[in-house]
């Protein structure tokens, strides 16, 4: 279940970054997006 939540959060945050940031910033934002998605899925105890 956590894996699905991780990928869903990663895709949603990635699309938001692609829409609102220039391409170079969206590429740089991929690492923090991955960290935030990991935290949401595995560490937050929301799910």
Mean pLDDT across 26-34: 93
Alpha-carbon gap, residue 31 to 9, rounded angstroms: 13
Instruction: Check residue 29 and report its DSSP letter.
Output: T
- Mean pLDDT computed over 29-41: 94
Which among 6, 33, 5 is positioned nearest to 17, based on CA atoms?
33
With the C-alpha atoms ordered 7, 5, 26, 18, is the resulting torsion angle positive or negative? positive
Whether the pLDDT of residue 2 is over 90: the answer is: no
- Average pLDDT, integer, range 15-36: 93
Give the number of domains in the chain. Answer: 1
Contacts of 35 (CB under 8 A, 6+ apart): none
What is the average per-residue pLDDT within 26-39? 94
Average pLDDT over residues 19-44: 92
């Amino acid at each position: 279940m956590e894996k699905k939540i991780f990928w869903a959060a990663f895709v949603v945050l990635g699309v938001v970054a692609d829409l609102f940031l220039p391409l170079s910033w969206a590429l740089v934002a991929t690492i923090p997006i991955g960290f935030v998605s990991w935290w949401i899925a595995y560490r937050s105890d929301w799910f």
